Amino acid sequence: MSSPAYRPLPPATYFAPAKLNLDLRVGAPRADGFHPIRSWFVTVGLFDRLDFSPADDIRLTCSDPTIPVDGRNLVVRAAEALRPGDGRGVLIHLEKSIPAGGGLGGGSSDAATTLLALNEFWKLGLPIDRLHDIAATLGSDVPFFLHGPSSLCEGRGDVVTPVPPPGCGQALLVLPGLHMPTPAVFKRLDELRPTVPDFAHGTVVVGGAGALALLPGLSNDLETPAFDLRPELAELRQEIEGIVARPVRMSGSGSTLFTLYDTDAEAQAAQTVVTQKTGMRCVVAGICPGPRHGSLQ
Ligand code: C5P
């Protein structure tokens, strides 16, 4: 039974943005098996949509039948972690647009959005620090999505410091449809560089420069192991770099490849030609889009 003071809100819609790791440096594994990272995360304008409506228990439905809707889904685990012990429930419908296993943080963003949404929907009033602690128990990338939109993430990803957004406004995302298992990519990294000192590849880049000034300085330590596991991804990167005549990077543990543009017109033109020549799904997404959390519809 719900407490007498609690009145469920009307159904609410929230949007969960994808992320890009503009820059990602990875250290040697820690005693707990996680790798220390330093990474510049930004949100990008590709959104999953979550609809919340009152229910007696916690239930999830999803537009993608391949995604589990039980306790394996971070959305369900986020809801369970927040649920007060007075019988409040929620029905959540998840409309997926962010591909799973693409290095775009879709599942983590869905979980963080669920924490933010249910904190309002259930009128819990928890401070962001408390939500951050819960987010960190759900996954390394989840806390970023509570803060965003441009942050330096350290520790295993859960130590989040806001930094100024880049000076360029648009990202071209190339989605090869390959599902990259994150643990396997980190494991391959350790196999390929067993003795490398922490952060041997230098200091993470953050800053407000435009696309062409920024791109050459960006790097991702997970590219080498991901390309070793899936050589076709390395070939695709090379092909796209030839088409767009600028550096192309991988996000997270892959498989999404991206490059940056200052204007929407440039990004749209590149999308057309890359789609034509590679046959891959390409998306133009704004970098650090305005917050769409909490938009009641
Ligand atoms: O934290 P999360 O559950 O997203 O991590 C998934 C896996 O990715 C971990 O089990 C680990 O193998 C790897 N990982 C890592 N170092 C990180 C983040 C993730 O080794 N900083």
Structure tokens that stand for 178 in this block? 């390959």
Q: Tens of pLDDT along 16-40?
A: 999 999 999 999 899 999 999 999 9
Q: Return the pLDDT at 198.
A: 62
Residue 148 pLDDT: 80
141 catalytic per annotation: yes
Look at 44 and 195; give whichever has higher pLDDT.
Answer: 44
Q: How confident is the model at residue 6 (pLDDT cuts 50, 70, 90)?
A: low
State yes or no: pLDDT of 297 exceeds 60.
no
Q: Compute the distance between CA of residue 240 and CA of residue 242 in angstroms, rounded to an integer.
A: 5
Closest atom of ligand 1 to CA, residue 36: 21
Report the C-alpha dihedral over residues 134, 140, 142, 147, rounded to 10 degrees: 100
Strand-pairing partners, residue 39, are 24, 153
Q: For the whole model, what pTM was predicted?
A: 0.93
The tens digit of pLDDT for each residue in 150-180 reads 999 999 999 999 999 999 999 999 999 999 9
**3-state SS of the chain?**
CCCCCCCCCCCEEEEEEEEEEEEEEECCCCCCCCCCEEEEEEEEEEEEEEEEEEECCEEEEECCCCCCCCCCCHHHHHHHHHCCCCCCEEEEEEECCCCCCCCCCHHHHHHHHHHHHHHHHCCCCCCHHHHHHHHHHHCCCHHHHHHCCEEEEECCCCEEEECCCCCCCEEEEEECCCCCCHHHHHHHHHHHCCCCCCCCCCCCCCCCCCHHHHHHHCCECCHHHHHHHCHHHHHHHHHHHHHHCCCCEECCCCCCEEEEECCHHHHHHHHHHHHHHHCCEEEEEEECCCCCCCCCC
Average pLDDT, the chain: 91
Residue 127 Cα to ligand 1 middle (Å): 26
Residue nearest to atom 10 of ligand 1 (CA): 183
Residue bearing tokens 């330590």 = 221
| Residues flanking ligand 1, CB < 6 Å | 34-35, 37, 139-141, 156-157, 182-183, 186
Segment 242-257 shows an average pLDDT of 98
- Per-residue three-class SS string for 235-265: HHHHHHHHHHCCCCEECCCCCCEEEEECCHH
What is the per-residue pLDDT across 115-153, written as a single tens digit (0 to 9) for each? Answer: 999 999 999 999 999 999 999 999 999 999 999 899 999
pLDDT tier for residue 290 given thresholds of 50, 70 and 90: confident
pLDDT at 294 > cutoff 60: no
Q: Which residue puts its alpha carbon closest to atom 19 of ligand 1?
A: 34
C-alpha closest to that of 208 among 148, 151, 159, 163? 163
Is residue 221 part of the annotated active site? The answer reads no
* Cα-to-centroid distance, 200 and ligand 1 (Å): 20
Q: Would you tell me how many other CB atoms lie within 10 Å of the CB of residue 97? A: 16
